[in-house]
C-alpha cells in the first residue's frame, strides 16, 4: 500500500513539472488519486468492520454468520475499555492517513460518519454505568431467550451443539451482568422500584415448565426441540441432543436465573420511586448527553418540552375536526373515552381475535406493497413477516417493534405486535402501526440500508435514532397523502399515533428534566391521548428506563417533512417525491444536519 502511495506521488510530481502537462492530464491524475484513496479507505473500512464484529459473537449471529456460534458477548467494563481504546486508535488512524478532500462524495460521507461515530463513542463513554442492565424493555433476562429463539438457527448437528454450548454459557454470562448490576447499585445507579416486578416476572417465566418443573415444556426447551426435530438425523441423535440441552438448562440456565432473582429481590427491597435520570450521579449532564445522542441536535430539554406542548395542541385541533366528521358530540376527552370503551374498536380477547389482528396487519402491509412504486425508486429484497410477541415477555414488552432481517436472506424482517392485552391494540391504529413498523417504515428503511451497494458495512448496520424513528413516524403520515386511511376512524388513529409521539416530548423531558413522577407522566398521557391506561403506564415505564429515546421520533419526522416541503417550494415542477425519498434512504442512517446537507445538495443539482 505504501508503494502505491509513493508511485502515485511520483506520478503527480512528474505531471506537475512537465511543460507538456495540460488540464486533461491533471484532471486524470486527480481522478486516479481519488480512485486510489477511495479504494484504500474501502479496504480499511472492511478491515475495521471485520475486526470489530469479531469481538461480538451475538452480532455475528445476527448477521447470519456462524463464527463463534457457541459464545456470548463479553459485557464487562474491561472489554468495553479495550474496545474504546481501539476506537481511539482508529480515529487517530483515519485522521492521519485519509483526507476527505481526496475522496469522492460517498466516501467522504463515510469518512465523516465514521469520525462522528467514533467521537461520539469517546464523548459518551463516561456514561457506561448510567443504564439499567435489567429492565422490562431490553434486559438481559429476556434478551437471552429472545436471542436464541430469533437468531440462533439450527440447520446442522454442529449448530445444535453450539446452541447447547450457549445454554451452558448462560451461567457465566448472566453472572457477569449480575455483578455489573451490583457494582452500579453501589454507585446509586438502580432502576426505580416498579422495574423490579417486571424483571422478576420475566425471570421466573424462563424457568417454569419442563425440565424445571412438571409443567408444560419451557420456552427454551420448546425452541430447541422444535429446531432439532427438523434436522435430518436419527431419532437417537435427536434424543441425545435434547438430553444435553436439558442438562444445560438445569445446570446452567436455572442457577443463572435463580442468582438473578436473588439479586433483583435484594435490590427491590431498597429501591426508590424516583424515576428520572436526574436522580443519577451527574444526572443533568447525562440527560443532556442523551438528548443530543437521540435527536442529533443541540435542542435543550425546555425547547423539546415546549415543542411537544405545541404539537399536542395542533394535533388536538385536527382530531376535533374528525370528531365533527363522524358526528360525535362532546369533548375531545369524551371522544377518547368512547374509543377506549366501545368494544367495536378492538378485536375479540381470544386466540381467534389475535389471529384476526395478525391477519389484518399482513393485509395492510401487502396492500401497501402494491403502491410502493408510486413513491419509491428502490424496494427492499428482504421479506417481512408479522409475528406475535412471545408469551414469556409479552406482559412487559412494548406494543410493537421491528427486528431487522439477516443480510444473507436466511431470516426475514419481523413486525412484532404485542397482543397480550388486545384492548391496547385498537383497530383504528392498525394502519399507522403497520406502516411504521413494516412498510414503508422500519422494514423498508432498514432492509434497504443493509442492501445498499457500494457502502462500507459499518454504514449498512449503523443506527441513528432520530433518522430511523423519524422515518418510521414520517411513514405513518405518507400513506395519508397516498390515499390511505379512508376510514375517518383510521385517520384518527394516524393522528393518535402522531399525538403519542408529540406527547412523548412532553413526558420524557418532564420525567428526566422537570422531575415529574411516574404518576404525573401517566396522568398526562391518559388525559391528552386516547390510549388505554395500561398502554400509557407501559409507555411511561419505557421512557423512564430509556431516557431521551422517545424524543427522537417527532424531531426526526419534523425534519424530514420540513426538508421535503422546502424542496417542493424551491423546485416546483422539478420536485419528484421518489427522488426525494431516495435521497433520504440511499445514505443509510445519518444525523439530521447531514440529512439536511444532502437534501440541499440534491436541490441544487436539480438546478
> Which pLDDT belongs to residue 418?
95
Query: What average pLDDT score do residues 264-282 get?
Result: 97
Give the position of cell 431521551: 548
> Which pLDDT belongs to residue 409?
84
Query: What average pLDDT score do residues 180-196 get?
Result: 97
Neighbouring residues of 261: CB distance < 8 A, sequence distance ≥ 6: 200, 203, 204
Residue 30 reports pLDDT greater than 60? no
- Edge-to-edge strands of the sheet including 400-403? 384-388, 413-417, 400-403
Query: What average pLDDT score do residues 394-402 get?
Result: 85
- 344-373 pLDDT, tens digit per residue, is 999 999 999 999 999 999 999 999 999 999
Neighbouring residues of 379: CB distance < 8 A, sequence distance ≥ 6: 372, 373, 444, 448
> Which pLDDT belongs to residue 131?
95
Query: What average pLDDT score do residues 496-514 get?
Result: 97
Q: How confident is residue 14, by pLDDT bands cut at 50, 70 and 90?
A: very low
> Which pLDDT belongs to residue 279?
97
Q: Point out the least confidently predicted range of 7-21, 169-183, 325-339, 516-530.
A: 7-21
Residue 7 reports pLDDT greater than 50? no
Query: What average pLDDT score do residues 381-393 get?
Result: 92
CA-to-CA distance for 287 and 277, rounded, in angstroms? Answer: 6
Helical packing angle, 518-528 and 488-512, nearest 10°: 160
10 Å CB burial of residue 36 (0-12, 13-18, 19+) is: middle
Q: How confident is residue 607, by pLDDT bands cut at 50, 70 and 90?
A: confident
Q: How confident is residue 198, by pLDDT bands cut at 50, 70 and 90?
A: very high
* 302 close to 559: Cβ distance less than 8 angstroms: no
> Which pLDDT belongs to residue 26?
55
Residue 9 reports pLDDT greater than 80? no
Query: What average pLDDT score do residues 19-34 get?
Result: 55
> Which pLDDT belongs to residue 392?
81
| CA distances in angstroms from 349 to 352, 420, 548, 576, listed in the order given | 8, 9, 34, 45
| CA distances in angstroms from 592 to 106, 273, 294, 349, 462, listed in the order given | 17, 35, 11, 42, 15
> Which pLDDT belongs to residue 23?
55
Query: What average pLDDT score do residues 113-142 get?
Result: 96
Query: What average pLDDT score do residues 14-28 get?
Result: 45
Residue 5 reports pLDDT greater than 80? no
Residue 519 reports pLDDT greater than 70? yes
Query: What average pLDDT score do residues 50-55 get?
Result: 96
Residue 596 reports pLDDT greater than 90? yes
> Which pLDDT belongs to residue 397?
79
- 426-441 pLDDT, tens digit per residue, is 999 999 999 999 999 9
Residue 540 reports pLDDT greater than 90? yes
Q: Residue 170's Cα: distance from chain center in Å?
A: 25
Residue 16 reports pLDDT greater than 80? no
| CA distances in angstroms from 503 to 69, 311, 593, listed in the order given | 42, 8, 24
> Which pLDDT belongs to residue 31?
60
Q: How confident is residue 24, by pLDDT bands cut at 50, 70 and 90?
A: low
Dihedral sign, CA of 186, 257, 56, 468? negative
* 241 close to 160: Cβ distance less than 8 angstroms: yes
C-alpha cell of residue 410? 436466511
Q: Point out the least confidently predicted range of 28-32, 240-244, 280-284.
A: 28-32
- 212-257 pLDDT, tens digit per residue, is 999 999 999 999 999 999 999 999 999 999 999 999 999 999 999 9
Q: 557, 558, 499: which is closest to 524 by C-alpha?
A: 499
- 445-468 pLDDT, tens digit per residue, is 999 999 999 899 999 999 999 999
Q: What is the mean pLDDT of the chain?
A: 93
216: helix, strand or coil = coil
* 207 close to 258: Cβ distance less than 8 angstroms: yes
- 295-304 pLDDT, tens digit per residue, is 999 999 999 9
CA-to-CA distance for 29 and 448, rounded, in angstroms? Answer: 35
DSSP code, position 277: G
Amino acid at each position: 500500500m505504501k508503494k502505491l502511495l509513493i508511485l502515485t506521488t511520483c506520478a503527480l510530481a512528474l505531471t506537475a513539472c512537465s511543460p507538456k502537462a495540460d488540464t486533461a492530464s491533471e484532471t486524470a491524475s486527480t481522478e486516479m488519486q481519488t480512485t486510489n484513496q477511495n479504494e484504500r479507505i474501502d479496504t480499511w473500512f472492511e478491515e475495521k468492520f471485520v475486526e470489530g464484529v469479531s469481538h461480538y459473537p451475538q452480532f455475528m449471529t445476527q448477521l447470519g454468520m456462524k463464527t463463534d456460534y457457541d459464545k456470548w458477548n463479553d459485557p464487562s467494563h474491561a472489554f468495553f475499555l479495550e474496545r474504546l481504546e481501539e476506537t481511539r486508535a482508529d480515529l487517530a488512524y483515519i485522521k492521519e492517513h485519509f483526507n476527505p478532500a481526496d475522496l469522492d462524495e460517498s466516501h467522504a460521507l463515510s469518512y465523516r460518519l465514521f469520525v462522528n461515530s467514533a467521537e461520539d463513542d469517546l464523548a459518551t463513554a463516561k456514561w457506561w454505568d448510567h443504564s439499567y442492565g435489567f429492565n422490562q424493555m431490553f434486559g438481559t433476562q429476556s434478551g437471552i431467550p429472545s436471542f436464541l429463539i430469533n437468531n440462533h438457527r439450527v440447520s446442522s448437528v454442529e449448530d445444535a451443539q453450539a446452541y447447547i454450548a450457549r445454554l451452558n454459557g448462560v451461567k457465566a454470562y448472566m453472572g457477569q451482568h449480575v455483578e455489573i448490576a451490583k457494582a452500579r447499585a453501589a454507585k446509586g445507579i438502580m432502576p426505580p422500584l416498579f422495574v423490579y416486578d417486571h424483571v422478576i416476572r420475566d425471570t421466573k417465566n424462563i424457568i417454569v415448565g419442563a425440565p424445571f418443573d412438571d409443567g408444560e415444556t419451557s420456552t427454551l426447551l420448546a425452541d430447541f426441540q422444535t429446531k432439532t426435530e427438523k434436522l435430518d438425523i436419527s431419532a437417537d441423535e435427536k434424543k441425545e441432543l435434547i438430553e444435553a440441552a436439558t442438562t444445560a438448562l438445569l445446570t446452567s440456565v436455572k442457577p443463572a436465573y435463580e442468582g438473578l432473582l436473588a439479586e433483583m429481590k435484594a435490590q427491590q427491597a431498597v429501591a426508590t420511586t424516583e424515576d428520572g435520570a436526574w436522580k443519577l450521579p451527574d444526572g443533568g449532564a447525562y440527560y443532556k448527553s442523551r438528548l443530543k445522542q437521540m435527536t442529533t441536535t443541540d435542542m435543550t430539554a425546555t425547547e423539546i418540552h415546549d415543542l411537544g406542548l405545541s404539537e399536542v395542541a395542533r394535533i388536538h385541533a385536527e382530531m376535533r375536526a374528525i370528531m365533527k366528521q363522524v358526528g360525535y358530540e362532546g369533548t375531545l376527552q369524551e371522544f377518547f373515552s368512547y374509543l377506549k370503551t366501545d368494544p367495536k374498536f378492538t378485536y375479540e380477547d381470544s386466540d381467534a381475535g389475535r389471529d384476526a389482528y395478525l391477519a389484518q396487519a399482513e393485509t395492510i402491509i401487502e396492500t401497501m406493497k402494491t403502491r410502493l412504486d408510486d413513491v419509491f425508486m428502490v424496494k427492499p429484497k428482504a421479506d417481512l413477516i408479522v409475528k406475535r410477541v412471545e408469551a414469556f415477555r409479552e406482559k412487559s414488552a412494548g406494543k410493537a417493534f421491528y427486528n431487522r432481517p439477516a443480510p444473507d436472506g436466511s431470516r426475514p424482517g419481523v413486525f412484532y405486535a404485542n397482543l397480550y392485552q388486545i384492548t391496547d391494540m385498537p383497530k383504528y391504529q392498525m394502519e399507522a402501526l403497520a406502516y411504521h413498523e413494516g412498510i414503508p417504515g422500519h422494514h423498508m428503511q432498514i432492509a434497504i440500508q443493509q442492501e445498499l451497494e457500494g457502502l462500507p458495512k459499518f454504514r449498512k448496520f449503523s443506527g441513528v435514532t432520530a433518522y430511523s424513528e423519524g422515518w418510521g413516524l414520517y411513514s405513518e403520515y405518507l400513506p395519508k397523502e397516498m390515499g390511505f386511511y379512508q376510514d375517518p376512524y383510521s385517520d384518527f388513529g394516524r393522528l393518535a399515533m402522531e399525538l403519542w409521539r408529540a406527547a412523548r416530548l412532553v413526558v420524557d423531558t418532564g420525567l428526566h428534566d422537570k422531575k415529574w413522577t411516574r404518576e404525573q407522566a401517566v396522568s398526562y398521557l391518559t388525559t391528552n391521548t386516547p390510549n388505554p391506561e395500561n398502554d400509557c403506564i407501559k409507555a411511561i415505564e419505557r421512557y423512564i428506563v430509556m431516557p431521551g429515546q422517545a424524543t427522537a421520533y417527532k424531531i426526526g419526522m419534523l425534519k424530514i417533512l420540513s426538508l421535503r416541503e422546502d424542496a417542493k417550494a424551491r423546485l416546483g415542477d422539478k420536485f419528484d417525491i421518489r427522488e426525494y425519498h431516495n435521497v433520504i434512504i440511499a445514505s443509510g442512517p445519518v444525523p439530521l444536519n447531514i440529512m439536511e446537507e444532502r437534501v440541499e445538495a440534491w436541490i441544487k443539482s436539480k438546478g
